[in-house]
Amino acid sequence: MEIRTIKTVKGKAPFSEDKIITTVFDDDIESPLISIHPDIEYQEIKGFGGAFTEAAAVTLNKLSDANKKKIIELYFDTENGIGYNFGRVHMNSCDFAEGNYACVKENDETLETFNIERDKKAVIPMVKGAMEYAGDLEMFVSVWSPPAYMKTNGEMNRGGKLKGEYFELWSEFYVKFIEAYRNEGINITTASVQNEPKAAPTWDSCVYTAEEERDFVKNYLGKKMQACNVKLLFWDHNKERVVERARVMMSDKEASKYIGGIAFHWYSGDHFEQLEMVHKLYPDIDLVFSEGCYEYSLGQSDAVKIGEKYAHDMIGNFNNYCNIFCDWNLLLDEKGGPNHVGNFCAAPIMADTKNDKVYIHDSYYYIGHFSKFVKKGARRIGSSKWSDILDTVSFKNPNGEIVTVVLNRSDKSEKFSILIGTQRADLTAEAHSIATYIIK
């Protein structure tokens, strides 16, 4: 059994690599053991990626051509980067835009003024740059708010609801956006009904109950997206309510036929069991991690902790049937923005736009331990571990190689063994480390 080992250890160079060739045969040890069963297969892994927000694109445009190329390559190149093949864009503004905006003029009752000229300035060029490395880049769009005139509160921020008389017009808005992107050579294949439909923050937002979201899909949006060959994601909010939201949407035959998956965020805690329950109830839909980030102040002082949070969440999600991972902002500036409401956050890569410098945070490497080595079309495979000292998940790539990720968030090293059939490898997980083991 040959094992290629890639490690990222606190205080040491990331993605350090060595090989372990072992002919050790199992001698019935019982602990500490990670046992892997390649013949037991679970969900297919469909992709990894991040969000092409206006904030990310505007920040990228402020850098030199060399640094622009470097950042896109770091994310989307399979050899020199971490191999992203999935992306998210926002329709109209979100908090990580330079201000509130819509793709139509205010009070346009016909959508005759619809255009994506603002997206063409920065977002679309960034997406096209990524496509040069990831030609099969899969894109989905999320919505933060309809135009202000379509909402009960008369503004794009602070929640409010979509007025009933605009359901049809708003659903046509999605069609125009998707067609406009396709005219630019960017094929959006999935759309989220609404980002965080339970929240009414100070930034771009719109509230739907589970029943309202279901009825909008069933009576208006679903048929239009089906005509565009676009699948819908619903919920797009925290994990603690995925079961209750799924029950409402998926129990309706007319609504559920348009659904491709349920999207979720991490801001309310682990709740991994919710994902397993949704899969048990509705095994044919995708479980899509569509957003997660940390506030910028924490990003400055606890970079390793943030990386460990990403890896812990990814392992828990994948072990409970998640099959797509999509991070939040691909890039932010030295302030953790731009952000039009002061909701500054960290990103895996950040830039000092004043001095044309690029900073790669630990979270980039922690995510890369999955996205770089777990290939599209891989399947999660059976694995078990002796305790909660380490977090771990295993996959089988389309070429048959086994990929096991092991995370140690503790302050001390832990010895352990990987067992596959009759062969065993004796290994060490260093304190505050993540390692990817590629087993042939």
Query: Residue 308: what are its φ and ψ, rounded to 5°?
Result: -65, -35
Residue positions counted in the chain: 440
Smallest CA-to-CA distance from 114 within 53, 175, 187 is with 175
Which residue of the set 54, 138, 291, 308 is catalytic? Answer: 291
70 in Cβ contact with 358 (< 8 Å): yes
Whether the CA torsion 117, 195, 360, 287 is positive or negative: it is: negative
Instruction: Average the pLDDT over 396-418 and give the result.
Output: 97
**Pairing of β 349-352 and β 357-360:** antiparallel
Report pLDDT for 431: 96
pLDDT at 30 > cutoff 90: no
315 in Cβ contact with 392 (< 8 Å): yes
Give me the residue label for tokens 């490395």: 133
Q: pLDDT confidence of 297, banded at 50, 70, 90?
A: low
Architecture of domain 2-43+380-439 in CATH? Sandwich (2.60)
270 in Cβ contact with 313 (< 8 Å): yes
CA separation for the pair 41, 107 (Å, rounded):
52
pLDDT at 135 > cutoff 90: no
Report pLDDT for 21: 75
Report pLDDT for 433: 97
CA separation for the pair 37, 46 (Å, rounded):
21
Which residue of the set 196, 212, 213, 308 is catalytic? Answer: 196
Residue 272 CB-half CA count within 13 A: 12
Residue-wise pLDDT tens digits, 88-124: 999 999 999 999 999 999 999 999 999 999 999 999 9
The DSSP 8-state label assigned to residue 220 in this structure reads I
Residue-wise pLDDT tens digits, 319-356: 999 999 999 999 999 999 999 999 999 999 999 999 99
For residue 30, the one-letter residue type is: E
Structure tokens at 256: 């559920």
CA separation for the pair 262, 287 (Å, rounded):
5
Is there a catalytic annotation at residue 273? no
Q: pLDDT confidence of 299, banded at 50, 70, 90?
A: very low
Structure tokens at 174: 């999605």
Q: Domain map of the chain by residue range?
A: 2-43+380-439, 46-373
Residue-wise pLDDT tens digits, 162-192: 999 999 999 999 999 999 999 999 999 999 9
Instruction: Average the pLDDT over 288-316 and give the result.
Output: 87
Report pLDDT for 295: 85
Percent of the chain past pLDDT 70, that is, above it, reads: 98
pLDDT at 26 > cutoff 90: no
Q: CATH for 46-373, among 3.40.1170.60, 3.20.20.80, 3.20.20.150, 3.30.70.20?
A: 3.20.20.80
Instruction: Average the pLDDT over 257-284 and give the result.
Output: 98
Helix (H) or strand (E) holding 86: strand 86-91
Is there a catalytic annotation at residue 295? no
pLDDT at 1 > cutoff 60: yes
320 in Cβ contact with 272 (< 8 Å): yes
